[in-house]
Amino acid sequence: MFLINGLEQETLPASDRATQFGDGCFTTARILDGGVCLLGAH
């Protein structure tokens, strides 16, 4: 499953830039005492 513009998608179109060039987005979050630090920043 993929999330594209806030909508769940089962597949990626071949014309999608992420498919063609491997673009992506990720975030790293620190976990402290079972919670995400600065959750609002993510």
The enclosing H or E element of 21 equals helix 17-21
Whether residue 31 is predicted with pLDDT greater than 90 in this model: the reply is yes
How confident is residue 42, by pLDDT bands cut at 50, 70 and 90? low
Q: Which residues pair with 31 in a beta bridge?
A: 36
Structural domain count, the chain: 1
Q: What is the span of the domain harbouring residue 22? A: 2-41
Give 33 or 17, the one with higher predicted confidence: 33
What SS3 state is found at 29? coil
What pTM was computed for the model?
0.35
Whether pLDDT at 30 is above 90 = yes
Cβ atoms of 29 and 36 within 8 Å: the answer is: yes
For residue 33, the model assigns a pLDDT of 95
